Amino acid sequence: MKIWLKSVSAVTILGLLGAAIYLWTPSAPRYDPDEARAAASAYEARIIRDGYGVPHVFGKRDADTSFGFGYAHAEDDWATIQDTIIAARGMSAEYKGKSAAPPDYLYDLFKVRESVAENYDAQVSPDAKAIARAYAAAMNLYAVNNPDEVLPNLLPVTEQDVLAGFAWATPFFYRLDGYLEELFTAEDRPNVSPWGQTSALDIPDAVRGSNAFAVAPSRSTDGHTRLIANSHQPMTGPYAWYEAHLVSEEGMNTLGGTFPGVPIMAQGATPNLAWTHTVNRPDLIDIYALEVDDLKKPNQYKLDGEWIDFERSKSKFRVKLAGPFSLPVKRDILWSKHGPVLSTPTGHYAIRFAGLGALEPGGLGALDQWLAMNKATNMAEWRAALESQGVLSFNIVYADRDGNIGAVYNARMPRRIEGPEWEEILPGDRSELIWNDFRPVSDLPQIWNPPCGWLFSANATPFQITDSACDNNRSDFSETFGIEVDRITNRSRRALALLSPDEAISRDELLAYRADTKYDPQSDLMKLVVQLVTTKTEDETLKQAQEILRNWDGDTRKDSRGAALAVITGTRALGYEYMEEERDPMEALSETASDLMTRFGRLDPEWGEVNRLIRGDVNIPLSGAPDVLRAIYADRDGVAKDGVMNVFAGDTHIIVVDWSPDGAQAVDSIHNYGSATLDETSPHYNDQAELFADGGYKPIAMTLEEVLEVATEDYAPGAR
């Protein structure tokens, strides 16, 4: 017996040892800090921070400036940046566990790593490579200077990591994740979006709004040209705006905003021009239902009457367990001639989308396009930058010091044949449905220098973005574009109602319109309110709630006494964008009434008591609500959980650009919190919050001389 027990013990120990070896997460080769410092020595940059901590970065070359910018951004938000790096490698599950496994599988399925390796030389210019390389060098320098903050096996960061981040993330801006989720049943639907929200709410649409306004001299009271960039994003996390000012002697001078891991301004203002993005929803994705030879273990699919072998490979990643252990995972990858294939409970589907690395051009062009936009000196150069179609989607609104304004419904639009219902799931057995190239920018809806003198964008149809006499005509564009013809947001209704009648728009009026807090009578929320107040009920509390709603004027000023009841009920019944029927409206009204009575002792507390901006030691009331021009998204269940609703998305980084008739420029901006996005000990963790809540702005210096006048810190990367 003793011998047997010893044998069992030995086998057990060997088994445990083998399991430990199998599950032990491999370590990357040690990265020598001297390598990082040697690479960093090739760059020379100057970081000057103003009174709000905004980094103004100066360099001789664009690459020097990118290096300095990367280091400044790492100082303020390193944890988020390294999060984007692991996502850009398809390694999130190794650090975060099984919840991050679906994105890692999709990363492999879309062959992001292979696409970057194969297309890096052909699709990325030397200038863009230099910027990505410099940014990576800044990441490595910061990491070796702050080793306690760095995840294991992260270093070195490479320029390929930077570019892979573009290739991986950009298709999700036009809702690739939403299309994929629809292929699964509710029980099997994975969380496939790389949009990691800092709230626990599953509301991807709520952070993908944005407003933009451009007014030409002919429509302004004083002959000025003005642009307002008012993008709606999460207030923290990988898709929160970071503000910076980048200047190089090679022609870059841009104040703007960008995301962690992006080495250049995605939108902003130069001395000569300015632009901003808003999210659009073109049809850039096609899904094909495949007929396969075996539903459980398919080897072939049918195309044009013939059986074709799938291209097969493996997805390999690791899933964090505990401590230094992680589970190695292997999954089959199938590709057809259409593209990557998803095997789901409802069938096998192939996917083809703009930005797929197997197509030409692939998904690596965004950095080159944004670089060209940053360095353009006039409208012709800036519009030429659009022709590369490196930025896959987004509406873009433009203005410049010469008085030009414009808007383009930007999209890398597939060239499809007319006839099929492209927005539906397509038959996978017809090769004529497999498109291979894209429409030029000239084919897209756009307006340049309209006689009406103004333009706006609010994530609605591109056929209602100015006075009707100057708008795009739907009949001029192919049905295959899948343009959101019927999408009209409350923000678009209000913009048209406010600006169209105003024949001479002053700066103060434009700023007031941007911050408008009302719902249009034809908005979905106000229609819901009408439904609520006309629904018969015997419940006395609901009768009181109906009377409050009946007298509410649709405004979400912080002193409103009907907004809380209306907005919370509306988001519970129709979702955060008031576009989906999630619950019975009267049931939602009853729950909201109960929550408000429990917390505030009345059904109509002031909206500012409920709607709050809470950041560190700042806790202040806010005007605004979902889908008003002063867009504020807060947790609709926050009153029941925390007593108040804390804003997590909406208005975030706002830029106001103004050129006088003589070309003189003024740039103002505001950030929802401040430059130090993670450091609670920094004075810039929340130093813009109160100004933001009050609807104010701060002036931004655009020259070295002006920057030095407001400087509080002046240092080289790594010398702070």
Q: For 118-163, give the secondary structure using H, E and C.
A: HHHHHHCCHHHHHHHHHHHHHHHHHHHHCHHHCCCCCCCCCHHHHH
Which residue shows structure tokens 């229609």? 527
Span 115-171, pLDDT tens digits: 999 999 999 999 999 999 999 999 999 999 999 999 999 999 999 999 998 888 888
Q: Do 170 and 361 form a contact (C-beta atoms < 8 A)? A: no
Going by C-alpha positions, the residue among 397, 377, 383, 380 that lies closest to residue 273 is 377
Confidence of residue 198 (pLDDT cuts 50, 70, 90): very low
Task: Give the pairing type, strands 395-400 and 405-409.
Answer: antiparallel
Q: Do 566 and 588 form a contact (C-beta atoms < 8 A)? A: no
Helix (H) or strand (E) holding 46: strand 45-50
What does the pLDDT average to over 16-44?
Answer: 85
Q: Do 451 and 470 form a contact (C-beta atoms < 8 A)? A: yes
Helix axes of 101-109 and 112-123: crossing angle, nearest 10 degrees: 50
Highest-scoring range by mean pLDDT, 184-188, 201-205, 427-431: 427-431
Percent with pLDDT over 70 in the chain: 94
pLDDT surpassing 80 at residue 201: no
Span 513-540, pLDDT tens digits: 999 999 999 999 999 999 999 999 999 9
Q: How many CB atoms lie within 10 A of CB 289?
A: 17
Residues in contact with 138: Cβ distance below 8 Å, sequence separation at least 6, in sequence order: 40, 43, 66, 67, 68, 69, 70, 71, 74, 717
Q: Do 506 and 222 form a contact (C-beta atoms < 8 A)? A: yes
Q: What is the pLDDT of residue 197?
A: 34
Which of 121-125, 374-378, 661-665 is predicted with the least confidence, judged by mean pLDDT? 121-125
8 torsion bin: left (phi>0), alpha (psi -120 to 50), beta (else): alpha
Confidence of residue 675 (pLDDT cuts 50, 70, 90): very high
User: In whole angstroms, what is the distance from residue 367 CA to residue 437 CA?
Assistant: 21
Sheet with 253-258, strands from edge to edge, namely 446-448, 405-409, 395-400, 273-278, 267-269, 253-258, 242-248, 55-59, 45-50, 711-715
Confidence of residue 9 (pLDDT cuts 50, 70, 90): low
Confidence of residue 186 (pLDDT cuts 50, 70, 90): low
Q: What is the pLDDT of residue 189?
A: 52
Q: Do 653 and 268 form a contact (C-beta atoms < 8 A)? A: no
Residue 660 tokens read as: 């006088």
Query: Residue 186 in 3-state DSSP?
Result: coil
- β-bridge mates for residue 248, sequence order: 59
Q: What is the pLDDT of residue 14?
A: 54
User: In whole angstroms, what is the distance from residue 95 CA to residue 620 CA?
Assistant: 36
What does the pLDDT average to over 654-659?
Answer: 98
| Predicted TM-score of the model (pTM) | 0.93
- β-bridge mates for residue 244, sequence order: 256
Span 52-84, pLDDT tens digits: 999 999 999 999 999 999 999 999 999 999 999
User: In whole angstroms, what is the distance from residue 637 CA to residue 649 CA?
Assistant: 15
HSE-CB at 495 with a 13 A cutoff on CA atoms is 31
398 torsion bin: left (phi>0), alpha (psi -120 to 50), beta (else): beta
Span 540-557, pLDDT tens digits: 999 999 999 999 999 999
Going by C-alpha positions, the residue among 542, 548, 576, 583 that lies closest to residue 563 is 548
Confidence of residue 195 (pLDDT cuts 50, 70, 90): very low
Confidence of residue 344 (pLDDT cuts 50, 70, 90): confident
What does the pLDDT average to over 696-703?
Answer: 97
Domains of the chain: 524-668 (1.10.1400.10)
User: In whole angstroms, what is the distance from residue 513 CA to residue 494 CA?
Assistant: 8
